[in-house]
Amino acid sequence: MESLNITFNTAVKYTEHFDMKNQIIELQRLLTAIPAINPESGGKGEWEKANALTDYLRDNGFPEPVHHDTPDPRVPEGTRPNITVRLEGKKRKPCIWVMTHIDIVPPGEKVDSDHWKGWNTNPYKLHVEGDLMFGRGVEDNQHSLVASVIAAQRLLNSNSRPPNDVALLFVSAEETGSEYGLKYLLDEHEDMFSKDDIIIAPDGGNEDGSMIEVAEKSVLWLNFHIEGKQTHASTPQFGSNSFLAMSEMVMELHRQLHDSFTDQHDIYRPSYSTFEPTRHDRNVPNANTISGEENFSFDCRVIPSHPLDEVIEKIHAIAGQIDKRYETKTGIEIENRLDAPPPTAHDAPAVKLLLEALKNCRGIKGRPLGLGGSTVAALFREKGYPAVVWSTIKGVAHQVNEHASISNISADADIYEYIFRNGSV
């Protein structure tokens, strides 16, 4: 990979007049004021917010946005917006993509017209306190959306043509599985992308921006339903204690799964597979009845060298052992299964370009790492696109009092501008 004969400091001089702090705040204020909640969460979708963003882009000299909208009869408009703006470079390919999502999660329980439980301020009215901005969506995913837009805007203001095409992609439905967003684009408009493209999907990150996510563990969520026989607590011989069966099953699953699937890889945090009990439903309401029915859940994050089919087979074997011991019957439902796609290589152009940008702009050494959770980049990797996840964030997505740092957004915009100006040629 070569770079343009232009240093980052030289690039900055073109845009010294650009009031980045106020631009960040005002764009965040615009986007935060418009809920963009998925129908699955009781919302009307993303169109109002998408239209406001499109107006902003037009008003600030961006090329005309291109739509690849997804049919969805559940929302008033009948579609969900997926929008691309593309800045023409000296070469069309490979294109540099930054993909962010427009939708947000609900802020939680509403107390009255201006207050939500746990929030210190109205989540739909941007509140600025020093370097921090508070509101639903300001980090997830408006932090990176704003940073990418500001970087592209600075490039436009400088009248500099980048070495490669630069494309900003704004998608819907990321918070509910991307069925009406990236999945649709990859299935119906895959010709948008090339396997040589540089794709950044800033769906995660860390506080100093050093983490470049290139791999994910496989994910398995399981729901267990144990049927026993209810009886009075004084006559356990007449029942089958599903609570005892559940208690032992939880402990045996935790112990045997960790003992059976022991592969480790330093790229992941943590470096091993995890098998954790999570949800447990309420059983009998009184203290002197033996429960005849139990429900609980398990979350498994598995190093990809262990096939999930083998994990599932082991889980059924353990449940069978416990059922035999307690004369119970266990049903197991797979709520969610994601087999990890192949990781993005450490020497992929997107990784190398980010490592270069972090070194030259911040003087830090980036680290290609893997996550226990699943990000939207997995959808790209499943199709063979070497995408990476990166941003400099607080890690407060989906929390009450969600907030984002103005200085971090500004610093991320610097990284994006460096990448746009120094792309693969």
List where CATH 3.40.630.10 sits in the chain.
8-216+345-421
List where CATH 3.30.70.360 sits in the chain.
218-338
pLDDT in single tens digits along all 425 residues of the chain = 333 323 333 334 334 446 899 999 999 999 999 999 999 999 999 999 999 999 999 999 999 999 999 999 999 999 999 999 999 999 999 999 999 999 999 999 999 988 999 999 999 999 999 999 999 999 999 999 999 999 999 999 998 899 999 999 999 999 998 999 999 999 999 899 999 999 999 989 999 999 999 999 999 999 999 999 999 999 999 999 999 999 999 999 999 999 999 999 999 989 999 999 999 999 999 999 999 999 999 999 999 999 999 999 999 999 999 999 999 999 999 998 989 999 999 999 999 999 999 999 999 999 999 988 778 999 999 999 999 999 999 999 999 999 999 999 999 999 999 999 998 64
pLDDT value of position 424: 67
pLDDT value of position 18: 61
Which member of 174, 197, 213, 299 is catalytic?
Answer: 174
pLDDT value of position 371: 85
Which member of 46, 103, 197, 294 is catalytic?
Answer: 103
- CATH architecture of the domain 218-338 equals 2-Layer Sandwich (3.30)
Is-catalytic flag, 103? yes
Residue type, 248: E
Class of the domain covering 8-216+345-421? alpha beta
This prediction has a pTM of: 0.85
pLDDT value of position 240: 97
**Location of structure tokens 């598995």:** 302
